[in-house]
Amino acid sequence: MSGLKDWLNSDVGSAKNTPHPTLEAIEQNEELYAEWDDGEDEGAKSLDVQYRVGILRKLMFIAVCILIMFFSAGFIITQQDGYSIEYWEVYQVIWNHLLHGSPDPYVDGWKAYFDDHVVCNLRLPRIAVGLVAGFGLAVAGAVMQSTMKNPMADSYTTGVSSGAAFGAALAIVLNVTIIGHDGDLLLLAFVFSLVPTALMMILSRYRKMSATTMILTGMAVMYIFSACTTALKLWAEPDALSSLYRWQVGSLNNVLWSDFPMMFVVTLAGTIVIMLLSNRINILSSGDESAKALGIDANRLRIICLLTVSLVTASIVSYVGTIGFVGLVAPHIARIFIGSNNRYLIPACAVFGAALMIISDFLGRTILSPAVLEVGVVTAFIGGPMFLWLIFRQRKEAWS
C-alpha cells in the first residue's frame, strides 16, 4: 500500500502536478493540425488528379484508335483497283446510303449508283469483317494472357486458330451438312479449336508447365493441325483449294456481307460474357490462391473464359482463316497505356486490335502495289519480332 501511496503522490500519478497547456501550446497544436489537414487535402487532390489523368489517357488511346480506323478505312476503299473514287467521296457515299438507301440510277445518275454499289457492296464488307476479326482476336489474346498468366499466349501461338482452321477446312473438303453451310463451318471450327485448349489445360493440371513450355506445346499442336490442313488438299476439289489457301494464310479477300452477321454476333456475345467476368479475371490473374480465398472457382472460371474465346476465334477463323499475332500484339501495346485492369484493358484491346487489322490490310495493299500481301502475312511481320522479344525477356512472372 505504501508503494501505491508513493505513486499517487508522485508527479506522474498526481493530476494536480500536471501542468496546464498554455495558450501558446494550444495555438501551436492548432497550426500543426491545420498543416496535417492541408496535407491530407493535398494528398486527396493528388490522387484525384492522378485518377482523372488515367481516365483521360484511356479515353485518348481509344479515341486515337477509332480515328485510325476511320481514316484508314477510306484509304483501303480508294486503293482497290478497277474503279476509281476519291477519298472523301467514300464517306459521302456511305452517309447517303445510310440515309437514303441505294440510289436509283435513273433518278440519281449511273455514277451515284456505281459508287454506292462498289463502296457499300464490294469494298465495305472487307472493312467490316476486318474490324470484327481484329476486335475478336485481340479480346481472345487479352483473356488468354490473363487467365493463363502467360504473356505469350494468344489464339495463334496456342494452336487454337490452327485447330479452328482445320475444322473449317474439313467441313469444306468433306462437304459436311449438319446445320447449314455457315453453321457447319463454325461447329467444326469450334470443336477442333478446343483440342489445343483442352490439351494445355490437362497437361498444366497434372504437370507443372512454365509459360514457355505451354507455348511450345501449343505451337506443336499448331504444326500438327497445319500439316493436317495441308494433307486435306490432296482430296480437295479444285474450287476448294483457293479457300484452303486463304484459311492457312489469313485473308480478307473475297469476303461478303453474308460472312459478317455470324462473326459479328458471336464476337459481340463473347465479348459481353468476358466483360461481365472481367472483375473475376482480374482476381484470377493474381493467382489461383487469391481467387480461391475470395470464393472464386479458378478452374471453372478459366474453362468458361477459354471456351468463350475459342468460340470467338472459331467464328473468325471460319471466314478469314488464321491471322496470327493480333491477339499477341494488341494486349501488350494497350497495357502500356491502359494498365492491367481487364475492365478497361479488354475494350482497349478490342479497339486497338481492330485498328491494327485495318492498318495491316492497308499496308498489305500499298507496300508492294500493285501486288497485294495478305493481311495474315503483314500481321506476322509485325507480331513475329514482338514474339521473339517476349521470349528473350521472359522471366518467372508473367509481366511486371
pTM of the full structure: 0.81
Asked, for residue 367, whether it belongs to a domain, the answer is yes
Structural domain containing residue 210: 56-392
Question: Residue 216, class by beta-carbon neighbours within 10 Å (0-12 exposed, 13-18 middle, 19+ buried)?
Answer: middle
Positive/negative CA dihedral, 247, 251, 253, 255: positive
Non-local CB neighbours of 256 within 8 Å, separated by 6+ positions: 125
Count: domains in the chain: 1
Asked, for residue 400, whether it belongs to a domain, the answer is no
Query: How high is the pLDDT of residue 270?
Result: 95
Asked, for residue 32, whether it belongs to a domain, the answer is no
Asked, for residue 28, whether it belongs to a domain, the answer is no
Q: How many Å apart are CA 193 and CA 159, to the nearest integer? A: 8
Asked, for residue 262, whether it belongs to a domain, the answer is yes
Binned at pLDDT 50, 70 and 90, residue 18 comes out as: very low
CATH code for the domain in which residue 229 is found: 1.10.3470.10
Contact 369, 79 (CB under 8 A): yes
Predicted confidence (pLDDT) per residue in 44-56, tens digit:
667 777 777 778 8
Asked, for residue 213, whether it belongs to a domain, the answer is yes
Q: Tell me which residue of 165, 199, 215, 163 sits closest to 328, measured CA to CA.
A: 215
DSSP code of residue 15: S
Q: Tell me which residue of 115, 76, 73, 125 sits closest to 92, measured CA to CA.
A: 115
Q: How many Å apart are CA 222 and CA 200, to the nearest integer? A: 12
Predicted confidence (pLDDT) per residue in 345-398, tens digit:
999 999 999 999 998 888 888 887 777 788 888 988 888 887 787 777 655 444
Q: How many Å apart are CA 16 and CA 212, to the nearest integer? A: 75
Alpha helices by DSSP H, 154-277: 160-173, 181-206, 211-232, 238-249, 260-276
Asked, for residue 323, whether it belongs to a domain, the answer is yes
Q: Residue 264 above 90 pLDDT?
A: yes
Find cell 472493312 and name the residue. Answer: 127
Binned at pLDDT 50, 70 and 90, residue 28 comes out as: low
